[in-house]
Structure 1
Amino acid sequence: MAAKSANLYARVEPDVKERAEEILAALGIPASNAINMFYRQVILQQGLPFDVKIPRRHSLDVSRLSEEELNRELEKGYADIEAGRTRPAREVFAELRREYGL
């Protein structure tokens, strides 16, 4: 592995930096390593390693979808399964409970 000799200077919001570094510390990952990991993923993915889009503000109401729209949503789900973009239900529900204090 090449020696690390390049510097990166970035301005971020103090609150964002603090919150991110708390999480990284809990994971045992120095911020510089996390940034290096991010850059490597950018190279590997040939772009950002996550979707950049405006989040949906409301849940999807399947009862209001046409058959074509429903099929399109189901196809997205199948594509996620095939690409390994899934998580165990108990993990998702635990996260929702923590996030919403349930």
Structure 2
Amino acid sequence: MEKTTTLNLRVNPDVKRSAEEVLSQLGIPMSTAIDIYLKQISMTGGIPFAVTLPKVPASVNTDLMTTDEIHAKLKEGYNDIEKGKVQDATAAFMKFRKTHA
């Protein structure tokens, strides 16, 4: 099928760059990926994947905290750093995902 319409988009440059890297590895041009996405919308009658808010534990969800609670969390973090209570970020994220997945 011949493509006859031009679509101009404004997107976050970092998101675009990241998507291009993935698509390059898959051997799929950006225009083809967008065409696939639009076809899926037409076929399914909506966005072809769940659009939901991430599940964030209340203990770290700043949307649910007051300004004072956020400041208290930050102060606690600074105090931990001063006491040397730190850990590798990769290990911390792995632990977090196991606990909150």
Q: Shared fold (TM-score greater than 0.5)?
A: yes
Alignment RMSD (CA, Å): 1.4
Match of 2:49 in 1: 50
- Normalising by structure 2, we get a TM-score of 0.55
Alignment of 1:52-67 (within 5 A): 52-58=51-57
1:35 aligns with 2:7: no
Alpha-carbon shift at residue 36 of structure 1 (Å): 0.2
* Letter matched to residue 13 of structure 1: N
Alpha-carbon shift at residue 57 of structure 1 (Å): 1.3
* Letter matched to residue 39 of structure 2: R
1:1-35 C-alpha deviation (Å, 9 max, x unpaired): 3x101000000011000000000000000000000
Unpaired segments of 5 or more residues in structure 1?
59-98
* Letter matched to residue 31 of structure 1: M
1:18-74 C-alpha deviation (Å, 9 max, x unpaired): 00000000000000000000000000110000111101114xxxxxxxxxxxxxxxx
For 2:18, what is the secondary structure of its paired residue? helix
Structure 1 CA distance for aligned equivalents of residues 46 and 34 of structure 2: 15
- Deviating beyond 2 angstroms after TM superposition, the runs of 4 or more aligned structure 1 residues are none
Match of 2:73 in 1: none
Higher relative contact order (CA 8 A, sep 6+): 2
Q: How many residues align?
A: 59
Structure 2 CA distance for aligned equivalents of residues 8 and 42 of structure 1: 16
Match of 2:8 in 1: 9
- Normalising by structure 1, we get a TM-score of 0.55
Q: What is the percent sequence identity of the aligned residues?
A: 44
Structure 2 CA distance for aligned equivalents of residues 4 and 55 of structure 1: 36
